[in-house]
């Protein structure tokens, strides 16, 4: 039977749809349990045969109305899981599709099929900086590229005003068994010839072009030099099909730990840092959770900072400039040790730290980042 190129593209797209629980394909790194304060993620039960057939029929019907070139671009984005650059997929935003008793807009249908089967409402989504055509060319057309969107990370209710960390964590810095600070240089081995004080040097040099600097660490060892960021958006990754930015895979690491090597290999597409008008957002592009600690994510009345778990495909506003200017945490050892001219956000790949985990300090995590913001 003769089959058109369009039909072949549609079949490949359907085979690349987001798996649901019961498919046997669900990435075990996509969802999980635990975490002090984590992004909301839910598993979706596998659809019954009737609704699955109905969804397939509807999706095929919708895709076959899209131009072949647009199908090719969509397929590139879906098969690369967002790793390949793909332009906006502009389609009529008001077109509705119905599955059973549920009615979805065309963008929502594509987002559910190719990214998040449990997606319920567009308010759960955040448009990424790579989406440049939304509402600019034609107000009737909206971008339906599933990888131009992310899920919003929902945090738990504010914690009560007491420390979630052991009291040992609040011991004076010169205490022999006190927890290490991210800015401590004593007793820390560096693979680069310069210490973390580089961040102060950068900020005191009068160079206001950069809005943050990034340091990559493996446990207590910093690997490579500080990465100064001038562009509004930065990709930080280990391996990315198409991408420029901070490539961790190119850094020479002397750490032979099997755990470090395993986590390095899982960083994959990593994260995207984006400076936006309301603050700095972090988008988890990898297949595994990341963990974030930031002064502006928590209740100002809490005595210490909590660690927040962010699942794959989710975004979180990791830093708020307005909040940062008014925060004071005299009881938080890590906070008081930060450079006076900036604030630091810590991000760990795959492995978390804090009271909910066996690792109490981020310096025990296999692979982590320190993002130091220039707030001048």
Residues 137 and 265 in one domain: no
Residues 125 and 259 in one domain: no
| Mean pLDDT of each 10-residue bin along the chain, 376 residues long | 78 89 46 41 50 85 90 94 91 71 82 92 91 71 92 66 34 36 32 39 55 95 94 94 89 89 95 93 96 86 81 95 70 47 84 91 96 83
Residues 323 and 220 in one domain: yes
pLDDT at residue 363, rounded to an integer: 94
Q: How many CB atoms lie within 10 A of CB 72?
A: 15
pLDDT at residue 340, rounded to an integer: 41
- CATH number, residue 140: 3.90.520.10
**Number of domains within the chain:** 2
- The phi and psi torsions of 167 (rounded to 5 degrees) equal -65, -25
Query: Which among 128, 129, 13, 111 is positioned nearest to 68, based on CA atoms?
Result: 13
pLDDT at residue 101, rounded to an integer: 65
Domain extent at residue 97: 5-14+53-152
- CATH number, residue 354: 2.60.200.10
Query: Which among 283, 346, 295 is positioned nearest to 325, based on CA atoms?
Result: 295
pLDDT at residue 251, rounded to an integer: 92
- Whether 169 maps to a domain, the answer reads no
pLDDT at residue 137, rounded to an integer: 63
Distance of CA 309 to the CA centre of its chain: 10
Name the strand (E) or helix (H) holding 293.
strand 290-293
- What are 141-171's pLDDT values in tens digits? 889 999 999 999 977 544 443 333 333 332 3
Boundary residue ending a domain (133, 152, 171): 152
pLDDT at residue 295, rounded to an integer: 84
User: How far is Cα 338 from Cα 80, in angstroms, rounded to an integer?
Assistant: 39
Specify whether the CB–CB gap between 39 and 151 falls below 8 A.
yes
- Whether 194 maps to a domain, the answer reads no
pLDDT at residue 57, rounded to an integer: 87
């Amino acid at each position: 039977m003769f089959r058109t190129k369009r039909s072949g593209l549609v079949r490949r797209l359907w085979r690349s749809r987001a798996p649901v629980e019961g498919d046997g394909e669900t990435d075990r790194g996509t969802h999980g349990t635990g975490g002090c304060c984590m992004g909301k993620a839910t598993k979706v039960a596998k659809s019954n045969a009737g609704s699955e057939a109905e969804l397939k029929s509807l999706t095929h019907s919708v895709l076959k109305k899209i131009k072949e070139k647009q199908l090719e671009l969509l397929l590139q984005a879906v098969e690369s899981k967002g790793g390949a650059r793909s332009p906006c997929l502009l389609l009529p935003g008001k077109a509705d599709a119905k599955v059973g008793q549920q009615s979805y807009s065309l963008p929502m249908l594509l987002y559910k099929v190719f990214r998040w089967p449990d997606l319920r409402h567009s308010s759960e989504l955040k448009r990424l900086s790579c989406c440049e055509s939304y509402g600019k060319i034609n107000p009737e057309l909206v971008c339906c590229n599933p990888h131009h969107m992310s899920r919003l990370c929902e945090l738990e209710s504010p914690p009560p005003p007491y420390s979630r960390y052991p009291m040992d964590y609040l011991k004076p810095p010169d205490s022999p068994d006190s927890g290490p600070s991210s800015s401590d240089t004593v007793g820390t081995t560096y693979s680069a010839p310069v210490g973390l004080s580089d961040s102060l040097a950068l900020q005191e040099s009068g160079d206001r072009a950069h809005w943050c600097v990034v340091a990559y660490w493996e446990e207590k060892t910093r690997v490579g030099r500080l990465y100064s960021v001038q562009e509004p958006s930065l990709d930080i990754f280990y391996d990315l099909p198409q991408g420029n930015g901070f490539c961790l895979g190119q850094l020479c690491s002397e750490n032979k730990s099997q755990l470090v090597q395993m986590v390095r290999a899982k960083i994959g597409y990593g994260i995207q840092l984006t400076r936006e008008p309301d603050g700095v957002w972090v988008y988890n592009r990898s297949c595994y959770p990341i963990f974030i600690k930031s002064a502006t994510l928590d209740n100002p009345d809490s005595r210490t900072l909590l660690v927040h778990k962010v699942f794959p495909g989710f975004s979180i506003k990791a830093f708020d400039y307005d909040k940062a200017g008014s925060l004071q945490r005299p009881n938080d050892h890590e906070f008081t040790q930060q450079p006076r001219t900036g604030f630091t956000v810590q991000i760990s790949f795959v492995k978390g730290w804090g009271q909910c985990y066996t690792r109490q300090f981020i310096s025990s995590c296999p692979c982590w980042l320190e993002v130091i913001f220039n707030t001048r």
